[in-house]
Amino acid sequence: MIKHHPTSELIQSFVKGDLPASLSAGIAIHADMCQVCQQKIGQLTEQAAEISFEEAFLDRFIVDDQGGNIPLINFDQMIEGITETNELELQDTIIEKSITFKNKTFKLPAILNSMPLGKTAQFGKLARAAFQLNENEIHTNLLHIEPGGGVPEHTHKGFELTVLLAGSFHDDKGRYEKGDFIMLDGTNIHQPISQNGCLCYTVANDALHFTQGLNKLLNPIGSFIY
C-alpha cells in the first residue's frame, strides 16, 4: 500500500509544467501507481484547462458599437481544418525498456522509455545506472540495492527524490513499498536498508553526506550514488 506521496505544491508545479524533466518523471511514475495522486492531477489539469479555455475564448471577442459581442473565430476555417483529412495518425510502437542487476531483470515504467540510460556501476551491494538528461547539477539514476544491502547513514547537501519501483526498504522513519514517493533534504538523516532488495528511481542535486563513525570516510565517494 502506497503511504508516501508528493506534496500538493509539487503536484501543482507538475501540472503547470514548471518542474525539470527528472522530477516530472518521478511524479508521473508515482501517479501511475497511485490512484489518489492520479485523481489530484486529473482535477488540477481539468481546472487549468478550463481557465486556459476561458481566457482564450474571451480574447476572441470584441465589443461592437451597440455593445454586442462579435466573435473573431473563423468557423469555416476551423471546420476545414478538422475535416481536411481522413487519415489517422499512427502511433509509434511502444518499446518496453528493462534493466538487469545481478541476473534479475526489472521492467521499467513507460515514462522512462524515452530517457537515455548509461552504463551500470557497481559498489558493494549497491549498483546504479545514470540517465543522461543533461540537467546540470541534477542527477537522475536507477539505484539497485541487493538483499541485505543498504546505504550508510547520511544526509543530503541538496534534495533527494526517491520513487520505489520494486521491492522495499526501511529506515528509522518506517517501511517503504513499491510506489512510495520520498522527498528529502538536508534536514533529514536516514539509513535505508533493504532486506529483500529493491530498485529505486532517484533524483538528487548534490552528493550524499555520510554522518556516522567510520562511514564519514566514505564522503569522497558520496557522489557514486549522486
Instruction: Give the pLDDT mean for 12-24.
Output: 95
Q: How would you label 171-192 residue by residue, b for 16+ Cβ within 10 Å and e otherwise? A: beeeebbebbbbbbeeeebbbb
* Placement of cell 503536484 in the chain: 11
CB of 161 closer than 8 Å to CB of 182: yes
Q: What is the pLDDT of residues 61-110, one digit of tens each?
A: 544 555 555 555 555 665 566 556 555 455 556 678 899 998 899 999 99
C-alpha cell at 146: 541487493
Residue 152 pLDDT: 82
Domain map (residue ranges) of the chain: 8-83, 98-224
pTM: 0.78
For residue 61, the SS3 value is strand
Q: Which residue, among 107, 83, 79, 84, has the nearest Cα to 95 in the 3D structure?
A: 107
CB of 165 closer than 8 Å to CB of 108: yes
Q: How far apart are CA 65 and CA 52, in angstroms?
A: 28
Any bridge partners for residue 71, and if so which?
A: 61
Residue 35 pLDDT: 95
CB of 27 closer than 8 Å to CB of 6: yes
CB atoms within 10 A of CB 40: 19
Q: How far apart are CA 51 and CA 124, in angstroms?
A: 52
Of 78 and 31, more confident: 31
| Protein fold of 98-224 | Jelly Rolls (2.60.120)
Q: Which residue, among 200, 181, 186, 190, has the nearest Cα to 151 in the 3D structure?
A: 190
**In this model, does residue 7 exceed pLDDT 60?**
yes
For residue 141, the SS3 value is strand
C-alpha cell at 18: 514548471
Q: What is the pLDDT of residues 171-209, one digit of tens each?
A: 988 999 999 999 998 788 888 999 999 999 999 988 777
